[in-house]
Amino acid sequence: MKYKHNFNPTISDENLFSEILKEKEYIGYYNLVYQDTTAFKEYAQTVKQKNIVVIGIGGSTLGTYAIYKFLKHSKSLTKQLYFLETTDPIDIKSKIEAIDLSDTLFIIISKSGTTIETISIFKYINSLIKCDKTNTLVITEFDSKLNHYAKVNEMQIFEIPKDVGGRFSVFSAVGLVPLAIVGIDIDELLSGAKEVYDGFFSIGRRQAIASDNQGTDGLPSAESVKNQGTDGLPSAESVDNQGTDGLPSAESVDNQGTDGLPSAESVENTSLYKRLLKKARFFTEYKNSFNINVVFSYSSRLEGFNKWYIQLWGESLGKVDINNTRQGLTPIGIIGPIDQHSFLQLIVEGKRDKTVTVIKVDDFDSDLEIPHAKLEGLEDLDYINGVKFSSLINKQADATILSINNLNDIPCDVITIDGVSEKAIAGLMYEYELLTSICAKFMYINAYDQPGVESGKIILKEKLQKSN
């Protein structure tokens, strides 16, 4: 009996990166890290209202809420940010009753400009208070009906680029404008996203160049041989990367530490590039075995991130591929330590169909600790006295990670973000956007459409038209 195998996917890392580079030419979210935020910040300075109400749904609100939820208790914000995103009448009424509408800026966000949920709530708000150019901002596509409405009423408008999908729009005006208004540093947000962008694409290009310098047989390619003279020594062109003394030039040393080894930044970028490709490859190669991807966030501040992740992952990756085969990875977002007492049981003893990503926060910027209090009958628990809550929650995360890893049959990885800052949350979110795009390439699907959602919208519209 003979046996051969090839478990590699049909697309290599190098080819996948090449496809991502091509995609960057027409998918706009990749390049939002380089946008000019001046107009957003200048407008934010003009807003006098204390309450900021975002009216939208899905991609128009979830990313903004994720960042605001993560940061709001660590910032001295002078304005309150609210979200009206559901047609649940009790939710609408209870939220509006808690807001002084006369001291409120309403931000209407809809990419298409005709989102039923958004326009329905906007109509209701208009029945309570006159929405005009003094208290209303519109964020939409430049040619939408909502854009036309805003122009007729002389309202401030910010554009959602055509090539940026809703669930990938958090680093566009959709997220940056409301966050800038309430006092969050949007340049720091983009800086965090850009670090991930640079880390992935700079290393990816180097890997591609290295691959190009090898022939299909692993020997140096014809192109790389051009860098040798007829005597086999480096050609004049290849010496450009050397100084006059024959040593590496200053530019080439940038990626080295003082000991001549790769710098910490270079190593970190390589790690980012490799881990994203490795993680995406694993998820897609083993999607039939581990179809459920659990994000276990050990901070209640990441509850908004979890919701955003569920939309991003589910709506992007639940598709029919080029071979007309149904694909999909199922996202679940849970919070530690709360869900240690519920969902962890399913992870540990349930069916082996789940991967687990634990997200930890290294520095909570909090000194809150368990007091040295004596409670009669509970003396056996005095060992927790003096422990900081930030330390406790991270130890709980570590205990969960170890308990999972000890089983040896549950795929698990750990992401530790530095702290509670704009750069930390933006870097995490941009990394997940990249991961989603990479997974889609491995699965041969379009990450940026949502035909399954659109069909429901059409049915709803028909039902409402018939009922009226």
Q: What is the pLDDT of residues 48-104, one digit of tens each?
A: 999 999 999 999 999 999 999 999 999 999 899 999 999 999 999 999 999 999 999
pLDDT digits (tens, 9 = 90+) for 142-200: 999 999 999 999 999 999 999 999 999 999 999 999 999 999 999 999 999 999 999 99
Does the annotation count 379 as an active-site position? no
Rounded to whole angstroms, how far apart are CA atoms 105 and 84?
Answer: 13
Q: What is the pLDDT of residue 206?
A: 78
The residue among 73 and 241 whose pLDDT is bigger is 73
Q: What is the pLDDT of residue 10?
A: 64
**Spatial contact of 396 and 298, defined as CB atoms under 8 Å apart:** yes
Q: What secondary structure letter does DSSP report for 299? A: S
Q: Flag the least confident range among 224-228, 358-362, 461-465.
A: 224-228
Rounded to whole angstroms, how far apart are CA atoms 54 and 60?
Answer: 9
The residue among 209 and 360 whose pLDDT is bigger is 360
Q: What is the pLDDT of residue 90?
A: 97
Rounded to whole angstroms, how far apart are CA atoms 187 and 179?
Answer: 11
Q: Is the pTM of this model over 0.75?
A: yes
Contacts of residue 441, defined as CB under 8 A and 6 or more positions apart, other chains included, come to: 11, 16, 19, 20, 23
Q: b/e per residue, 231-250, with b = 16+ CB within 10 A? A: eeeeeeeeeeeeeeeeeeee
- Please report the sign of the dihedral spanned by the C-alpha atoms of residue 410, residue 413, residue 416, residue 417: negative
Distances (CA, A) of 455 to 100, 118, 146, 458, 459: 38, 18, 22, 5, 6
Rounded to whole angstroms, how far apart are CA atoms 445 and 314?
Answer: 13
Rounded to whole angstroms, how far apart are CA atoms 108 and 52?
Answer: 11
Nearest to 300 by CA among 364, 368, 355: 364
Does the annotation count 388 as an active-site position? no
Rounded to whole angstroms, how far apart are CA atoms 8 and 282?
Answer: 10
Q: Is 68 helix (H, G, I), strand (E, B) or coil?
A: helix
**Bridge partner residues of 105 (DSSP):** 52
pLDDT digits (tens, 9 = 90+) for 291-331: 999 999 999 999 999 999 999 999 999 999 988 899 999 99
Does the annotation count 341 as an active-site position? yes
pLDDT at 3 over 90: no
Amino acid present at 187: D
Amino acid present at 140: T
Nearest to 69 by CA among 465, 441, 393, 429: 429
Domains of the chain: 23-184 (3.40.50.10490), 264-454 (3.40.50.10490)
What is the pLDDT averaged over residues 332-355? Answer: 96
φ, ψ for residue 443 (rounded to 5)?
-90, -5
Nearest to 395 by CA among 345, 337, 349: 337
Q: Which of 85, 117, 315, 422 is catalytic?
A: 315
122 confidence band (pLDDT: 50, 70, 90): very high
pLDDT digits (tens, 9 = 90+) for 383-419: 999 999 999 999 999 999 999 999 999 999 999 999 9
Residue with tokens 């994203």: 276
Q: What is the pLDDT of residue 73?
A: 93
Amino acid present at 325: T
Nearest to 277 by CA among 446, 437, 448: 437
Distances (CA, A) of 186 to 30, 170, 263: 17, 11, 28
**Bridge partner residues of 83 (DSSP):** 54
Q: Which of 2, 341, 351, 466 is catalytic?
A: 341
Q: State what percent of residues in the chain have pLDDT above 90.
A: 77
Rounded to whole angstroms, how far apart are CA atoms 296 and 357?
Answer: 6
pLDDT at 218 over 50: no
First to last CA, the chain: 71
> What is the CB neighbour count within 10 angstroms for residue 347?
25
Q: Which of 24, 75, 95, 457 is catalytic?
A: 457
Rounded to whole angstroms, how far apart are CA atoms 463 and 15?
Answer: 46
